């Protein structure tokens, strides 16, 4: 199985991906509820949302995706309109389904590997600017309003990915993929996981906007500084990951430590170090989603 298999999976691979995605989403919901101690309705991801989207994500590019996607949105609307849930809970449910899908991809497509562009500046600039914009929105408008914007953008992005995978040409999207996409990734994959990571952070940390901002800053500035330091000055390879350097890891820590100015507590330094270690590992799961999930949980455990 080569890297491109994930972009056009066989029927057997698609079935395994679907099965693992459903199982992992259910396990993640149970694990996170137990870990955080949040179980009451209206304060954690509704299981139906995670369930429907854990089916929808593996079906992107197939006609039947539209059915599950529409059902997921309708279920979300029904739970918010007729129950104790909020759109933050819906966003968290979609983020958990996305994490389960990312892990499922790592299991099914063991050889999948996104190749860095020769020039990552445009991609990283977009990554940093979009995340800093999310921080600014939280600061000005609050988490609730920001969640509406991020959730709308995420759902729109999921649909655009599906349409692109089916071969439909969307004005501007092809040029965008050419400028910031990576070989071995689905169109918009990195941006989607980044949005899902933000959704998870603002949903879990909804009662502490400064903690949510800190998570996003670590993700944005840490990754941006790591790329700059690693590509410009990287000379010494990490012994546990030859694809990354000490200079890049130190750059990540230097950028991520800016979160301390938002959350000036000793634990922030420990969280930054933990994030730098995670970012340095050779993980098959996209770090745009795994990193904010772990950092969010670390902040949640101390506030």
Summarised one tens digit per residue, pLDDT across range 197-215 is 999 999 999 999 999 999 9
Q: How far apart are alpha carbons 12 and 246 in whole angstroms?
A: 40
| Residue 119: per-residue pLDDT | 58
- Over the stretch 79-116, which tens digit does the pLDDT of each residue have? 899 877 889 999 999 999 999 999 999 999 876 555 55
pTM for the predicted model, two decimal places: 0.90
Q: What pLDDT is attached to residue 237?
A: 94
Find all residues with CB under 8 Å of 259, minimum gap 6, and list them: 213, 214, 215, 217, 218, 221, 268, 271, 272
In 3D, which of 57, 69, 48, 97 has the Cα closest to residue 293? 97
Helices of type H across the chain: 11-36, 47-56, 65-82, 87-108, 121-141, 143-165, 173-180, 189-204, 209-233, 246-256, 266-280, 287-302
Confidence check: pLDDT of 3 > 50? no
Q: Is the pLDDT of residue 291 over 50?
A: yes
pLDDT at 42: 47
Q: pLDDT-based confidence at 45, cuts 50/70/90? A: low
Query: HSE of 78 in the Cβ direction (CA atoms, 13 Å)?
Result: 9
Provide the token pair at 182. Answer: 């990576």
Q: What digits encode the pLDDT tens for the residues 233-250?
A: 989 999 999 889 999 999
Q: Assign 182 a pLDDT band (cuts: 50, 70, 90).
A: low
- Provide the token pair at 100: 């389960």
The residue ranking higher by pLDDT, 13 or 46, is 13
| Coil, strand or helix at 266 | helix
Cα 139 from chain centre: 21
Q: How many CA atoms lie within 13 A of 81 on its CB side?
A: 6
């Amino acid at each position: 199985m080569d890297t491109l298999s994930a972009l056009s999976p066989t029927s057997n691979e698609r079935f395994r991906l679907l099965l693992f995605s459903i199982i992992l989403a259910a396990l993640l919901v149970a694990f996170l509820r137990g870990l955080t101690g949040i179980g009451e309705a209206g304060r954690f991801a509704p299981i139906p949302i995670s369930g429907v989207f854990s089916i929808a994500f593996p079906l992107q590019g197939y006609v039947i995706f539209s059915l599950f996607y529409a059902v997921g949105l309708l279920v979300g609307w029904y739970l918010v309109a007729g129950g104790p849930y909020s759109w933050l809970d819906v966003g968290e449910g979609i983020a958990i389904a996305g994490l389960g899908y990312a892990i499922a991809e790592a299991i099914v497509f063991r050889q999948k590997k996104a190749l860095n562009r020769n020039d990552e500046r445009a991609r990283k600039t977009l990554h940093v600017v979009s995340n800093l914009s999310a921080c600014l929105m939280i600061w000005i408008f609050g988490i609730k309003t920001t969640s509406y914007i991020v959730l709308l953008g995420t759902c729109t992005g999921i649909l655009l990915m599906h349409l692109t995978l089916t071969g439909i040409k969307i004005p501007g999207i092809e040029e965008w993929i050419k400028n910031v996409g990576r070989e071995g990734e689905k169109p918009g994959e990195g941006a989607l996981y980044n949005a899902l990571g933000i959704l998870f952070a603002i949903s879990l940390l909804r009662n502490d906007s400064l903690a949510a901002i800190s998570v996003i800053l670590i993700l944005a500035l840490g990754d941006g500084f790591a790329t700059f330091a690693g590509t410009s000055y990287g000379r010494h390879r990490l012994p546990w990951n030859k694809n990354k350097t000490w200079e890049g890891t130190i750059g990540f820590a230097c950028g991520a430590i800016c979160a301390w100015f938002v959350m000036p507590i000793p634990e922030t330094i420990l969280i930054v170090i933990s994030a730098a270690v995670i970012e340095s590992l050779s993980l098959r799961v996209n770090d745009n989603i795994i990193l904010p999930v772990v950092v969010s949980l670390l902040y949640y455990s101390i506030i």
